Structure 1
């Protein structure tokens, strides 16, 4: 299951955005308002939203200045959340989030709507940076 967030254009350099996403503490700034738990532990963070189990995301991959990929810490659910950063001008870049999960059809049906809302909220909040 793939979910693409809206592409967001920011008045920030590609390097500045990459450094922002590289510091997992900064993800708290773009999480939904109703996040009731957020804890960073090394190269991972745990967050909780009402009505959903807590999820731990681990930093899986970093391509300097162009991509940060987080993945599920649990082997029960296999998914990644990627931020692709593209330079438009010296101090102008775009960020596109994409969620890619390997779920059975029943699970995919149950989680598609809340995950789409989650990715859209993250994209919206990135636009406010």
Structure 2
């Protein structure tokens, strides 16, 4: 299952946005309002949304200034969440979030709508930076 967020413009340079995203504690400001738990632990963070199980994301890959990829810490539900960053100008960049998973069809059907809403919220909050 793949979900692509909208391409959104951010008032930060490509380098500044990349450096913002590799500091995992900054994801707290991107989270939805119904976030009940958010804790950073080294190269990972755990978050919980109201009515949903807690999820731990770990830093999987960083390509300087152009990509930050997080992945599930658990192999039971493997997925990645990537932020692709493109430079627009010295103080503006575009970013697109991409969620990829190998969920079985039943699981994909159950989580597609909440995950799409989650990606959209993260994208909207990136646009407000």
**Smaller-chain TM-score bracket:** over 0.9
Counterpart CA distance in 2 for 1:7 and 1:32 is 18
- Alpha-carbon deviation of 1:60? 0.2
Please list, as runs of the form range in 1=range in 2, the aligned pairs for 1:56-71 lying within 5 A after superposition. Answer: 56-71=56-71
1:78 maps to what in 2? 78
Deviates more, 1:113-122 or 1:6-15: 6-15
2:13 maps to what in 1? 13
Counterpart CA distance in 2 for 1:114 and 1:23 is 25
- Alpha-carbon deviation of 1:111? 0.3
Aligned length: 129
Deviates more, 1:35-44 or 1:89-98: 89-98
1:115 maps to what in 2? 115
1:4 maps to what in 2? 4
Root-mean-square deviation over aligned CA pairs: 0.5
Q: Normalising by structure 1, report the TM-score.
A: 0.99
Counterpart CA distance in 2 for 1:74 and 1:5 is 23
- Alpha-carbon deviation of 1:118? 0.2
3-state SS of paired residue (1:36) = strand
3-state SS of paired residue (1:111) = helix
Counterpart CA distance in 1 for 2:41 and 2:47 is 11
Q: Normalising by structure 2, report the TM-score.
A: 0.99
- Alpha-carbon deviation of 1:61? 0.2
Counterpart CA distance in 2 for 1:114 and 1:104 is 16
1:35 maps to what in 2? 35
- Alpha-carbon deviation of 1:109? 0.3
Residue segments in structure 2 that go unaligned for 5+ positions in a row: none
Counterpart CA distance in 2 for 1:118 and 1:92 is 24
1:94 maps to what in 2? 94
